[in-house]
Chains A and B, each alone.
Chain A
Amino acid sequence: MDTIEVKNLSFSYGAALALENISFAVKQGDFTGVLGPNGGGKTTLIKIVLGLLKAQKGEVKLFGKDINKFDDWVKIGYLEQKNTPSSLMPLTAFEVARLGLLSSKKLPKTFNKTDNETAENIMQTTGCLPYKNKLFYELSGGQQQKVLLARTLINKPSLLILDEPSTALDSASRENFFNLISSLNKQNNITMLLITHDIADIGKYVNNFLILDKNIIFYGSKQKFCGDKKAEEYFGPYTPHLMDHLHADAKSCPFGRHQ
């Protein structure tokens, strides 16, 4: 059973086509980097995969279950692009991180002592425990992102979907962030779907690429990407530069200047 299965998916915003005939499958433990230009449909695809938008055509399954019937949300962690929570909401960083446990609760959803300890532990892991009692809206963008990452990871999800998660982080925090999610992927076999504009960010961590520009330009392993003519045509003169960032794999890349 695939973790994510997308078949013949199409979506338009009014007359503007966003995605056309997209099909791909992600296996448990895959770390897939989703790349493409602005307006290429990356965020739209993620929102359809999560059921936040309804596909006009095609089908989406998570863990073998149609997204419209999917209810096992405790398996999912989602960190959104340009997160804009209610700006005056007086929630502390701790309260925001703990909210991630909601998917494991039944009505009335209340939090207990164990939940509080779990929240503190995950905040320690993502490096935001020192400001746990500060109001979320008073934190910097990078600090907020660490809190939201804690909220995303708190349930130990089996599938982690991250939409440009590192944009607000400084270089040291970005390095820590990628090391953390990479170790989660390797040690806990968590499936990762990570949207980014910067291939340099993820070249050394992912094992698959999904290049999207309304259609799928490329989907497959990092090694196959290096030899893919369509990807080479798409990236044009930038291909050698991209390959530089694929680090060790770049040496065996069969096209661009590494041929």
Chain B
Amino acid sequence: MSVIEFLSFSFVQRALTAGILIAVITAILGTFLVLKRLSLIGDSLSHVALSGVALGLITNTSPIFVAVPVVMAGSLLVFKITEHTKVYTDSALGIVSACGISFGLIITSLAGGFNVDLMSFLFGSILTVSAWELWLAFTLSAAAFVMIYIFYNDLIAVVFDENFAKTAGVNAKRINTILVLISAVAIVAALKVVGIMLVSAMLIIPPCAALQLATNFKKALLLACSFSVISVIFGIYISFVLNIPSGAAIIILNILILAFCACIKKFLK
């Protein structure tokens, strides 16, 4: 099948638009999260998303609409645990992750087990993105972009050196909260693209590849977005042509790009 023929399908156009939006926003957020050593928040919150999706399916409401507040609450719970107990952030992420997946499994079992809808959220099903899901992805991404634009330099300061940021008048607690809340929204928006099982890879791998080659922060963001978008476009095409899961194809392409960047870095040294 030719590329032009491929692009002529309306479901492919929707999939590509949603995929590119999600690729850009997860790459930008992922760059901040990776540098703040919070990259596993994607893994943890995607497991919390399972609870939200399952709750949405069992109550016959939109899984995405239910997942957004549930995942946001999960992201705040990570902070509360680290603030009020003697627990490191990575342990708090593990606790919230286990909590999310356990609740998700209990709700799923009460609903009589896995069904097709749940499977599409678990492993992603970008080729089935509907028109309203595309609008939702657009709205969530736009909200995330606006927040990042407003707090861009504050985010850089907090990620780079939190104590300095505080003495420069930056409310570090607020910025950290904003970062994880936007990430929560982006994770939910990305569920249809790569699924619960692989969403954290969208946040981690493109920024890691970009950081191999970036010579300043803007280039890191630009490279991360480019790698993420390239893997989404070609991942969707390959999955369509070879009839393989789109989420897995996107992530494998991301991994290949990371390996390529690591080789280039080694060669340049």
Q: Footprint of B on A, CB under 8 Å?
A: 50-52, 71, 73-74, 76, 78, 80, 83, 85-86, 88-92, 95-96, 99-100, 102-103, 105, 107-111, 135, 151
A-B contact count (CB 8 A): 87
Interface centre among B149, B156, B211 (most CB of A within 10 A): B156
Interchain CB contact under 8 A, A102 and B169: yes
Contacts A85-B160, A99-B164; A92 near B153 (Cβ below 8 A): no
What B residues does A74 contact at CB under 8 A? Answer: 169
* C-alpha spacing A86/B159, complex, angstroms: 7
Chain B nearest CB from A116 CB (Å) reads 13
Chain A nearest CB from B269 CB (Å) reads 11
What A residues does B36 contact at CB under 8 A? Answer: 86
B214 within 8 A of A: yes
Interchain CB contact under 8 A, B167 and A52: yes
Q: Footprint of A on B, CB under 8 Å?
A: 34-37, 149-154, 156-157, 159-161, 163-170, 211, 214-217, 219-220
What 8 pairs across the A-B complex have the smallest Cβ distances? A73-B169, A103-B168, A90-B214, A85-B161, A102-B168, A78-B167, A103-B169, A109-B153
Interchain CB contact under 8 A, A108 and B149: yes
Looking at chain B's contact residues, is the secondary structure mostly helix, strand, loop, or mixed? helix
* C-alpha spacing A89/B154, complex, angstroms: 14
* C-alpha spacing A111/B157, complex, angstroms: 13
* C-alpha spacing A107/B159, complex, angstroms: 18
Interchain CB contact under 8 A, B35 and A86: yes
**Which residue of the partner chain A has the closest CB to B149?**
A108
Contacts A102-B169, A107-B150; A96 near B160 (Cβ below 8 A): yes
* C-alpha spacing A92/B165, complex, angstroms: 17
What A residues does B150 contact at CB under 8 A? Answer: 107-108
**Which residue of the partner chain B has the closest CB to A84?**
B161
* C-alpha spacing A256/B149, complex, angstroms: 62
**Which residue of the partner chain B has the closest CB to A135?**
B215
* C-alpha spacing A16/B90, complex, angstroms: 26
* C-alpha spacing A165/B200, complex, angstroms: 39
Interchain CB contact under 8 A, A102 and B217: no
Kindly list 7 other residue pairs between chains A and B, CB separation below 8 angstroms, not including A90-B211, A99-B168. Answer: A78-B167, A86-B160, A89-B160, A90-B216, A96-B160, A105-B153, A109-B153
A51, A86, A105: the one within 8 Å of B161 (CB): A86
Interchain CB contact under 8 A, A92 and B156: no
* C-alpha spacing A213/B153, complex, angstroms: 39
